Structure 1
């Protein structure tokens, strides 16, 4: 199938892109791994398409002691192999196939806001944020920017806080404290498919190897990534003595799975609990070995 007709724009700098977005209602093309199929199947018919691939300033991966900032044109594969953040690397290895990761972008996946995707869960469990920019012509030359935390960024299935005149220019993933381990577990029908359910976990231990913090984010079991803090269930015990399978009761209670042709709601509920226990246990072992 062919996409519906649209007017094509290819800005060469951020200011030009924002000026175009301020004047039209259209869609932004970065990696296009979700947008192009939607256009070809005529599930979307924008009047304008703004291709930002010529804006070199957006193709960045910046690492500081605070964390990692990923620009809007940084590809999955680039971030995966950069070693910039351990949990990002674990999640990106599970995203589709290499040919998709070579073109798809981290920020584009976040904006697409698929509740079954891996990267929204990573942003959520890390309390990361997305930087949005819009044209600042009315207030001067500089673009107007705002940072939106993960808790507010994902507003529903395939819905985010990005306004029609805004461009998501980067995403920020906070650095991990010392003695912190991470893990990502999921189950899919075929390698590269969206997960039936998935869980990423972040566990931080104190100097006595007791659990100081334990959080998970779940995919495929709710309208947005569901984050659950299970620190209190660990009761400050040494990580080696925690019954992680029992701890995950709180995770199951927080999820809202739905059934479909691939899996029943009951199966997804059972699966997310098993995966949460595995991910938390793996993250705790990694933290203890740090």
Structure 2
């Protein structure tokens, strides 16, 4: 159990000095808030792979609306543009990073005007559902598939997720075809991330068992990583309580301990990352334990 003062001191020094913002809430009340390097908690910035968890929430809402099934295949959703070796990959496979295609983490160098066709053509390296592989390409394919059932993804997210959370300032880039980036790119402020964490914690979207399924362990990544993985959420245990995390490169974290009523947000500046590769997420277990006792 670490007090915010002790944590702030750790985050201000190498190798965790890339941290920009810290917010800790218990039952919706702000217990601690700190800005590093003169940062503004109201200013949107790239939240990297936290985007994935927002996209997962879009998928869950589509399921709740009855326009999507987790076992819908790419072949059904995207039709003839899907090569034969990818047609049996399901939404559930993509949400759990078990789609079986060759991973592609950096999509910025893609030259084709149509990203989806390029990403769909990546070779199959394992049967779907058998191997976890962290994969930005698969999540962007998921975004393309979701667009066929919900329409414009950022318009859907704005109405169904961001507005209910009280979020009014945001940006979500698109690929050349108009598909919002699935794996990263969304820009939100630290306070908006806290509002998003509270939306998930309280399930104000009314997702019920779908949210519990998404934020529970569905697959074990392995490779020395002790965490579990749900539907584009990481899963762990802090203070003897289950937690789930939306996590992005460079220190972007939304950690939710629903049973304890705790939400913790961290943001980071990738330009300040230490060569030592420090992970500011290391402070989360102690902060959750501290907040749970307040």
TM-score under structure 1 length normalisation? 0.27
Structure having greater relative contact order (Cα 8 Å, sep ≥ 6): 2
Structure (1 or 2) with the greater strand fraction = 1
> Bigger radius of gyration, 1 or 2?
1
